[in-house]
Structure 1
Amino acid sequence: MSAFNAIGEEREIDRDEYTPGIEPQPTWCPGCGDFGVLKALKQALPEVGRSPEETLVCTGIGCSGKLNSYLDSYGFHTIHGRSLPVARAANLANPGLEVIAAGGDGDGYGIGGNHFIHTARENHDMTYIVFNNEIFGLTKGQTSPTSPKGHKSKTQPHGSAKSPIRPLSLSLTAGSSYVARTAAVNPNQAKEILIEAMEHDGFAHVDFLTQCPTWNKDAKQYVPYIDIQDSDDYSHDIHDRGEAADMAQQAEEALYEGEVLTGRFYVDDDRPSYTQEKQEIGEMPEEPLAERYFDDDYEWETERSYDLLDRHA
C-alpha cells in the first residue's frame, strides 16, 4: 500500500506533464536565470522516473518562490526562509515523495540560514536548490548574503562592507552529503547535477547561479563557466571532504574575480539519511506516517498531549 497510488507506478514520464494545463504567464524578467532552473528541473524529473504526482516542491519567498507556480506538481509556498522545515516534515511523513526545496540566496542563506545548517547536519533525504543571483530581486535590488564586498545597492549605497557568505564551504562544514554548483547558462550540466541530486540518498545542496539582468548587472551572466570535472586545470577527489573544501574555497574566491567554477564538489554515498538514523535507534517506524491515513484498520493512539494538561481556570 502507498499513501499515494501514483508512487512507484512504472510508466514513461514526459516533461510536458510538468507544464500546467493552464500555464500562468511567468512574471520573471526576460533573461532571468530562473527560467534555466525551471527548464533543468522539468528535464531532470522524468529522467529519475518521477511523475508530477510523486513530486513535492517547497519554495520560499522571492523570485525563486514562483517555481512551483510554473511546475505542475504538488507544491507548498512557505514563508520567507522556511522552505526547508516544511520539506523536512513532508519527507519524514512520506519518504516516497520526491521532495525538493527551493529558495533564493537571501531566502536560503540569509533568513533561512539556520534551517540550512541543521538540515545539512541531519542529512535529510531531499534536494535543496538555491537560486543564487547575489541580490534580492523581488524586492528590487537590495544587497544579499552573497553580494560581493563593495557592491552598491539601495541598502548599501556606499558599497557593502561585508564579505559574502561562502555557500559551498558552509554546506560542507554543516554536513551536506552532496554539494554542487551549476549555472543557468549551462543547461546540460544543470540537468545532470539535478538528476544526481535527486537520486542521492541524503541532503543534496545545489548552489544554482542565476543571473539577474534587471537588478544585478554586476554579476553579468556567470560566463564563461568552467566545469571542474571536465577541465585539466582542476582536479580533486569528490569523495574526500578535505579536497572538496579546498576546491570549494577556490571556486568561491574565483567567482568574484570573474572565473565561474561549476560542478560536483563533494559526494558521500555512504552516510545514512536522517530517517535511516532514526529508524536505526527505534525512534521512527518503518511504516511512513502518511500510510496510516490510508489504512482504515490502523488503531490510532488516543492519548494526546492536551489530554495530559489541566484546563485553564
Structure 2
Amino acid sequence: MSAFNAIGSDREVEQDEFTPSIEPQPTWCPGCGDFGVLKALKGAMADLGRDPEEILLATGIGCSGKLNSYFDSYGFHTIHGRSLPVARAAKLANPGLEVIAAGGDGDGYGIGGNHFMHSARENHDMTYIVFDNEVFGLTKGQTSPTSPKGHKSKTQPKGNAKSPIRPLSLSLTSGASYVARTAAVNPNQAKEIIKEAVEHDGFAHIDFLTQCPTWNKDARQYVPYIDIQDSDDYDHDIHDKEQAEKMARKAEDALYEGEVLTGRFFVEEGRRSYPEEKKHRGDMPEDSLAERYWDEDAEWERSYDFIERHE
C-alpha cells in the first residue's frame, strides 16, 4: 500500500512531464544560472524515472524559491531559510516521497544556516540544492554569506569586511554524507550529480554555482570550470573524509582566485539515515504516518503508545 498511487510506479518518464501544463512566465533574468538548475533537475528526474507525483520540492524565499513554480511536482514554498525543516517533516511523515529542498546562498547558508548544519548532522534522507551566486539576488544585490571579501554592494558600499563562508567545509564538518559542487554552465555534470544525490541514502548537499548577471556583474561566470574527477591535477578518495576536507578547502580557496573546481567531494556509504537510526533504536514506528493513516480505519496513536517511558 502507498499513500500515493504514483509512488513506486515503474514507467518511463519524459522530461516535459516536469513542465507545468500552464507554464508560468519565468521571472529570472536573461542569463541567470537558475535556468541551469531547473534544466538539470528535470533531466535528472526523468533519467531516474521519478514520477512528478513521487516528488516534493520545498523551496525558500528568493530567486531560487521560484523553482517549484516552474517544476511540476508537489511543492511547498516556505519562508526564508526554512525549506529544510519543512522537507524533513515531509520525509519523516512519508518516506516514499522523493524530497528535495532548495534555497539560495543567503537562504541556505545565512538565514537557514542552523537548519542546514543540523540536517546534515542528523543525516536526513533528502537532497539539498543551494543556488550559490555570491549575492542576494531577489532583493537587489546585497552582500550574502558567500560574497568575497571586498565585494561592494548596497549593504557594503566600501567593500565586504567579512571573509566568505566555506559551504563545502561547513557541510563536511556538519556531517553531510554526500557533498558535491557543480555549476549552471556545466549542465551535463549538474544532471549527473543531482541523480547521484537523489539516489544517495542520506543527506546530500549540492553547492550549485549559479551566475547572477544582473546584481553580481563583478563575479565570474564560473568558467572555465574543472571537474576534479576528470583532472590529472586533482586526485582524492571521495570516501576518505580527511582527503575530502583538504580538497574542499582547495576548491573554496581557488574559487576566489578564478579557478572553479567542481565535482564530488565526499560520499559516505553504509551510514544510517536519521529515520533508519531512529527505527534501529526503537524510537520510531516502522510504518510511516502517511501509510498508517491512509487507511480510514487506522487507529490513531500517540508517541507514548509505542515508545517506552523512561523510568
**CA 1:303/1:98 → structure 2, altered by over 3 Å: closer, same or farther?**
closer
Cα distance between partner residues in 2 of 1:273 and 1:71? 27
Secondary structure of the residue aligned to 1:219 is coil
Which residue is 2:275 aligned to? 275
- 2:25 matched to which residue of 1? 25
Deviation at 1:270, TM superposition (A): 1.2
Cα drift, residue 46 of structure 1: 1.5
Secondary structure at 1:218 match in 2: coil
Asked whether 1:293 is paired with 2:293, we answer: yes
Whole-angstrom CA distance in 2 between matches of 1:20 and 1:48: 19
Question: Which piece of structure 1 moves more, 6-15 or 162-171?
Answer: 6-15
Which position in structure 2 is the counterpart of 1:133? 133
Deviation at 1:269, TM superposition (A): 1.2
| Aligned-partner residue type, residue 281 of structure 1 | R
Contact 1:63/1:138 (<8 A) preserved: yes
Structure 1 unaligned spans of 5+: 305-313
8 Å contact kept, 2:227–2:261: yes
Task: Provide Cα deviations, 1:9-66, integer angstroms capped at 9, x if missing partner.
Answer: 1111111000000100000000000000000000000222211000000000000000
Report how far residue 302 of structure 1 moved: 7.5
Name the CA shift for 1:302/1:283 in 2 (closer, same or farther; >3 Å).
closer
Aligned match of 2:74: 74
1:243 alignment partner in structure 2:
243
CA distance in 1, matches of 2:250, 2:300: 53
Distance (whole Å) between structure 1 residues aligned to residue 102 and residue 271 of structure 2: 23
- Residue 303 of structure 1 deviates from its aligned partner by 9.7
Go from structure 1 to structure 2 and tell me whether the alpha carbon gap of 1:220 and 1:293 turns closer, same or farther (over 3 Å shift).
same
The whole-number CA distance in structure 1 between the counterparts of 2:188 and 2:303 is 52
In 1, Cα distance between equivalents of 2:144 and 2:39: 25
Name the amino acid aligned to 1:175: G
CA separation in 1, counterparts of 2:129 and 2:68? Answer: 13
- Secondary structure at 2:45 match in 1: helix
- TM-score, scaled to structure 1: 0.96
Residue equivalent to 2:221: 221
SS at match of 1:66: helix
Greater Cα offset, 106-115 or 48-57: 48-57
Tell me the amino acid that sits aligned with residue 61 of structure 2.
Answer: I
Equivalent residue letter for 2:198: M
Instruction: Give the equivalent residue in structure 2 for 1:152.
Output: 152
Q: Give percent identity, aligned residues only.
A: 81
What is the CA distance between 1:208 and its match in structure 2? 0.1
Q: Which shows bigger deviation, 146-155 or 4-13?
A: 4-13
Give the deviation of 1:293 after TM superposition. 2.2
Which residue is equivalent to 2:163?
163
Q: Which amino acid aligns with 1:30?
A: P
Residue of structure 2 in register with 1:142 after alignment? 142
SS of alignment partner, residue 182 of structure 2 = strand
Query: Match of 1:113?
Result: 113
Q: Which residue of structure 1 aligns with residue 86 of structure 2?
A: 86
Q: What do residues 128-161 of structure 1 show as CA deviations (whole Å, max 9, x unaligned)?
A: 0000000000000000000000000000000011
Give the AA of the match of 2:166.
Answer: R
Shift of 1:294: 1.1
Q: Deviations over 1:231-269 (max 9, x none)?
A: 000000000000000000000000000000000000001
Q: CA deviation at 1:296?
A: 2.2
**Structure 2 residue identity aligned to 1:11:** R
Q: Look up the equivalent residue of 2:54 and give its one-letter code.
A: E
* Matched residue type, 2:207: D
Q: Which residue of 2 aligns with 1:183?
A: 183
Match for residue 198 of structure 2?
198
Query: Residue 226 of structure 1 contacts residue 262 of structure 1 at CA under 8 Å; is this kept in 2?
Result: yes
Q: Which amino acid aligns with 2:107?
A: D
Check whether the contact 1:213–1:220 (CA below 8 A) recurs between aligned residues.
no
User: Separation in 1 of the partners of 2:28 and 2:255?
Assistant: 24
Distance 2:203 2:48 in 1: 17
Structure 1 residues 228 and 294 mapped into 2: Cα distance closer, same or farther (>3 Å)?
same
Secondary structure in 1 matching 2:218: helix
SS of 1:87's equivalent in the other structure is helix
Q: Does the C-alpha gap of structure 1 residues 303 and 157 become closer, same or farther in structure 2, counting only changes over 3 Å?
A: closer
Whether the 8 Å CA contact 1:141–1:154 is kept in 2: the answer is yes
